[in-house]
Structure 1
């Protein structure tokens, strides 16, 4: 069992108990505690207490928001830890009334049995309950046995396919916890229509797989086996139908190469921000897709911006230019040109992402490229700003207009190449370029009049 439960949660459950209810931890928090994983979110299910009384108890412990009219799910921000939010709910009955991932009628019922409440859950390892006051485990679906065998098993074969998102969750959970999906559950997944899942829910599961799984290859392997690729990501068939070239890659199927690169990439991205981690891992896939299929993949996942980060643009850029450092390393011999060429790459993306991507793809077995890239990226600033500004150019007598921006860009290119090192150099070069432009323009007019 993992670390001790927070005091505010224990006090809340004691208060519910003294009022006549029974508060139980449910779902992922129980599973993760049993596996020894850190728990970030707690879900509490309350039996034997009507929703009105439950809300009264919760309001003594923090700020409460209600989700849903009939099934009473409360979002509680505890007074003792106001930045935290815990879900507190009644046991719920679900009945399918229409197509789609959201086509359910849900009704809260505090008098349900543990077995009936657990029957609506997806997998047996998520149907385990625990009394936080006594630490007693309640296991109506034999989830403990499946957890011990590291197996992922559907709770109810009759209702499993009603929620199509469970197929993606099966792949995601099996990858995160290294679980084997049972044959019966695999068959249920393969028979489930996935076309009704909203893009944002697809992305949520793929994101969890990429960020939380130590071996994303396991999840993507199940995507293939369970029919997820066929239904949601047909653009990935390109990886199955192509071989990776011998130079600079080793000869193997693109699918296997991408999967091994995803797992390798997890060891190199630990220091990156969450959006940067995603950009590198999705770019691993993108490097082996045509531009058209990469765009289709990003569309299927609904990837645009993420936490204010231009995720889509970054993935497209990384996928396009991932071989540039490799080519620079092998084709250019003078260090001065290394810096110049890499500065151009640094204008397109953060070099640390290129380093992580190159290491993930294992572009060179000698490790020389990675070492060189790492050292070079430390000495090159992506944010190197132009020395010459608009007001400097206006001092030369050039009027405002498109020509000013064009001249600034020209000088900046020389700056990146190291041929302009200070403002004096920049202004002199700008003057020379302007004189040259006027000379050419004057010659043209002379020839026209001649």
Structure 2
């Protein structure tokens, strides 16, 4: 639903000054798709920038954060929670390394159709006159939305800005649209241009792709178009790598099911979390490199693939600067490295369960169980989740008992250790590891008196550990 902006003073002032005011781009698209509006983008015609800024200053708070684009961030006094992007009509051409810079020409008298023509797809090249409600649709974007089609506004749109290659992918996956045949042909022809786009811009589109109900749809489009080996070479290498006990299934198909489960399964506590989605995407990335088949028995193994997969994930996330969009890259690698475990080993053994929590960490343990659930959903028996769900309950129950899981939970601190005659240094770490080993087996030992006695009684053993 497009909000009614007519009663805002800045709109009234712009109208009185002779301005034409249009809602444009994604705001119009989302309105026609009956989706919540995330952004409000306005184009103002017939008022030069020198006259526009004083008008806005009287009626709200603004900043020219996008000076190179002629974009003004504006918040009206009447609604401090409403942020609007306001711009004059403009043309723009991408320039510079990584297509990060643009040559922008703003003109208050520029025909609105020329402003819309610079946009990526017809569904984003529409405007609505805020005062009259009239739709301006020179490129039949409304028709394409009705037919669920993604179509470029002009030939060479992908050449002009190759990031649009990934934008087409994520829009198709998020909205369940088809890419028009001629547009898909242009996408295939120009796929290699994605290598010219900066990592910072690429990773933003991947994050948007992860918002799709089924991110696998976007990856399959990348696969068909030739983008996949250019953006995700290690995911592309999964194709054709068959797995034992999974007839005619390769690692790629399994990974796509795991990714979709991580995105939206109700059994996963943090479904849709971008960090966990990257863990799902790369959890088996090491299998192509580690696959071994015994020529005599035909037995297939992927020994140490979890460690190799973690390394692959870490390198990709660093290359594409995933931390800039809030991805916990260390957690991704940690989860992948630890995702291979037998559920039944911990269900009836509290000592083993506490050591498992200690190894993984109290906070990451539930993320790891989410990854394990998604991995199971991508396997042969996707509905047999009872064991993992039971383990999750057991983990939560054990954590609620508040036993010691880390050295910080011990009933003594460094000062207490010093009272026994020890000086800060490597011996402190050995003492803490020794005590943790004891209290993980028996939490009842975690009292100051017992721990100090354990240190005293095992002095010789502790000193030997340093040698």
Counterpart position of 1:85: 83
Counterpart position of 2:254: 257
TM-score by length of 1: 0.87
| TM-fit CA distance, 1:81 | 3.3
Q: Aligned-residue CA RMSD in angstroms?
A: 2.7
Q: Does 1:221 align with 2:220?
A: yes
| Contact 1:25/1:44 (8 A) holds in 2 | yes
| Contact 1:244/1:257 (8 A) holds in 2 | no
**Rounded Cα–Cα distance in structure 1 between residues aligned with 2:136 and 2:351:** 67
Query: Secondary structure at the residue paired with 1:362?
Result: helix
**Rounded Cα–Cα distance in structure 1 between residues aligned with 2:26 and 2:279:** 30
**Rounded Cα–Cα distance in structure 2 between residues aligned with 1:190 and 1:109:** 35
| TM-fit CA distance, 1:42 | 0.4
Counterpart position of 2:430: 406
Q: Does 1:295 align with 2:314?
A: yes
Query: Secondary structure at the residue paired with 1:195?
Result: helix
Counterpart position of 2:418: 394
Aligned partner of 1:371 among 381, 389, 394: 389
| TM-fit CA distance, 1:8 | 8.1
Q: Quick check: 61-70 or 191-200, which moved more?
A: 61-70
**Structure 1 residues 123 and 284, CA, compared in 2 at 3 Å: closer, same or farther?**
same
Q: Quick check: 181-190 or 296-305, which moved more?
A: 296-305
Deviation digits for residues 158-196 of structure 1, max 9, x if unmatched? Answer: 444210100010111111111101111112222221122
Counterpart position of 1:334: 348
**Structure 1 residues 11 and 251, CA, compared in 2 at 3 Å: closer, same or farther?**
farther
Counterpart position of 2:282: 286
| TM-fit CA distance, 1:304 | 3.6
Q: Does 1:31 align with 2:29?
A: yes
Counterpart position of 1:162: 160
| Contact 2:259/2:280 (8 A) holds in 1 | yes
Q: Does 1:318 align with 2:335?
A: yes
| Contact 1:8/1:80 (8 A) holds in 2 | no
Counterpart position of 2:402: none
**Rounded Cα–Cα distance in structure 2 between residues aligned with 1:436 and 1:341:** 22
Counterpart position of 2:361: 347
Structure 2: tracts of 5 or more residues without a match: 287-307, 400-404
**Rounded Cα–Cα distance in structure 1 between residues aligned with 2:221 and 2:15:** 42
Query: Secondary structure at the residue paired with 2:194?
Result: coil
| TM-fit CA distance, 1:89 | 0.3
**Structure 1 residues 426 and 30, CA, compared in 2 at 3 Å: closer, same or farther?**
same
Q: Quick check: 162-171 or 335-344, which moved more?
A: 335-344
Deviation digits for residues 305-339 of structure 1, max 9, x if unmatched? Answer: 754x7x11100011111122xx1x23456332342
**Rounded Cα–Cα distance in structure 1 between residues aligned with 2:449 and 2:47:** 78
Give the aligned length: 429
Q: Does 1:183 align with 2:181?
A: yes
Deviation digits for residues 225-253 of structure 1, max 9, x if unmatched? Answer: 2222222222222211412343xx77611
Q: Does 1:433 align with 2:429?
A: no
Deviation digits for residues 107-166 of structure 1, max 9, x if unmatched? Answer: 001212222111100000001111233322111110000000000000001444210100
**Structure 1 residues 70 and 340, CA, compared in 2 at 3 Å: closer, same or farther?**
closer
| Contact 1:124/1:153 (8 A) holds in 2 | yes
**Rounded Cα–Cα distance in structure 1 between residues aligned with 2:337 and 2:276:** 12
Counterpart position of 2:305: none
| TM-fit CA distance, 1:69 | 5.2
Query: Secondary structure at the residue paired with 1:202?
Result: helix
Counterpart position of 1:447: none
Structure 1: tracts of 5 or more residues without a match: 445-450
**Structure 1 residues 436 and 263, CA, compared in 2 at 3 Å: closer, same or farther?**
closer
1:4-153 aligned at under 5 Å gives the runs 5=3, 10-67=8-65, 72-95=70-93, 100-102=98-100, 104-153=102-151
| TM-fit CA distance, 1:51 | 1.2
| TM-fit CA distance, 1:273 | 9.5
Deviation digits for residues 82-111 of structure 1, max 9, x if unmatched? Answer: 354321001111246666424542100121
Q: Quick check: 376-385 or 89-98, which moved more?
A: 376-385
Aligned partner of 1:359 among 367, 370, 373: 373
**Rounded Cα–Cα distance in structure 2 between residues aligned with 1:305 and 1:345:** 28
Aligned partner of 1:418 among 423, 442, 451: 442
**Rounded Cα–Cα distance in structure 2 between residues aligned with 1:226 and 1:413:** 53
Q: Does 1:236 align with 2:235?
A: yes
| Contact 2:27/2:37 (8 A) holds in 1 | yes
Deviation digits for residues 189-241 of structure 1, max 9, x if unmatched? Answer: 2222112211111110001111x211111111122222222222222222114
**Rounded Cα–Cα distance in structure 2 between residues aligned with 1:80 and 1:99:** 41
**Rounded Cα–Cα distance in structure 1 between residues aligned with 2:251 and 2:281:** 9
**Rounded Cα–Cα distance in structure 1 between residues aligned with 2:417 and 2:366:** 34
**Rounded Cα–Cα distance in structure 2 between residues aligned with 1:43 and 1:10:** 15
Deviation digits for residues 357-400 of structure 1, max 9, x if unmatched? Answer: 12212266421223213202312437772333111211212233
